[in-house]
Amino acid sequence: SHYRDYVRAVMTRYRDFNRWYFDNFYEQERMLADRPRMNFYHAAIARHIQPGDRVVDLGTGTGILAAFAARRGAAKVYAIDHSEILRHARTLAAANGIENVEFIATHSKEFAVDEPVDVILHEQMGDCLFDEAMVANVTDLRDRLLRPGGLILPSCFDFYCEPIKLKDQRKVPFLWELNVHGFDYSSLERSRPQEPGYYHVRCSDLGFVEHFLGEPEPVLSVDLHTVNEAAMPTELRFVRTVVNAGRLDGYAVYFRARVDGDLSLTSGPLDPGRAPHWGFRILRTDRDEGAAGDVIEVSLRVERWADPDTWRWSHVKRTAAQVIPGEPAGLPGRK
């Protein structure tokens, strides 16, 4: 009962924050000026929305994705948002001659229609992919409103958590790691902050990360057509062999969205074509060094995917000399 009350309170705060955050013109400007984002959605909608489709646009904002769908010939677009930005979306649709769009001021979980829809269109990805309740919100609509064989656009996502080295001039050590002209801060290690947010750094600066220590690959992939939030793993265990030596400063959390085999959108910190309005998240870790051939075994434990403050991470490093040739590297898989 206490846990349910806590989750309900967290979700209420999140909804209130969203109402304010997405009503802000500047946040809308950042999203609309994000060319990789807008090109990805324009191409995906042009390819997959068919004349006569009934579409739900989840979190419509200024209504631009709903407009793209309407211009493709959708018979009906339900454009849902619980932010005050909806009043501007209505104005913009009228000014641009957009028809067949119904703007609905509600949260998606309170939205219902009399007959199934063909497509759920959304942009519910947070910096940490799952932190805007994407899985809960989209699968709720999927299970209640999407026709059998209907489409979620986009549906396929890869989640990354990569060991990184930051550029030396951008690295900020933990306080207890510092020694400034002989003034030693190590005694403060016993006073480590307990606030989870202290161990997260949000950034969208391409000059922040120097390199990945290993070869990046997804540690989790989900398809919104089939995923079940309750069945998502509570722990990810993965291994990276160091191919680019350097200081281990933390883990870069980012995502890639995929449509078909040739359309993708990434928030990756070293991708020059990244979608710039999303930040990537750095999960800070204690000082360590990775030499070529070392093996880093990482555990990411998650209480609630939608709340990164409930994430906990740790690693064990084996040096190249400790790795036995032919021995399977690392930890067992996800659980």
Residues annotated catalytic, as ranges: 123, 132
31 close to 37: Cβ distance less than 8 angstroms: yes
8 A C-beta contact, residue 75 and residue 52: yes
Nearest residue to 28 (alpha-carbon basis) of 64, 61, 60, 58: 61
Residue 237 makes CB contacts below 8 A (sequence gap 6+) with 297, 298, 299, 300, 330, 331, 332, 333, 334, 335
Cβ-Cβ contacts under 8 Å for 169 (sequence gap 6 or more): none
CA distance 312 to 199: 10
Distances (CA, A) of 180 to 66, 100, 170, 176, 186: 55, 64, 17, 11, 11
CB 204 within 8 A of CB 173: no
Please report, for residues 80, 98, 193, 317, the alpha-carbon distance to residue 65 in angstroms, rounded to integers and kept in the order given: 11, 11, 42, 45
Strands (E) in the chain, as ranges, are 54-58, 76-81, 101-105, 117-122, 146-153, 156-166, 179-180, 183-184, 200-203, 209-212, 220-223, 235-241, 246-259, 263-266, 280-290, 295-302, 311-318
Cα angle for residues 201, 232, 268 (degrees, 5° grid): 35
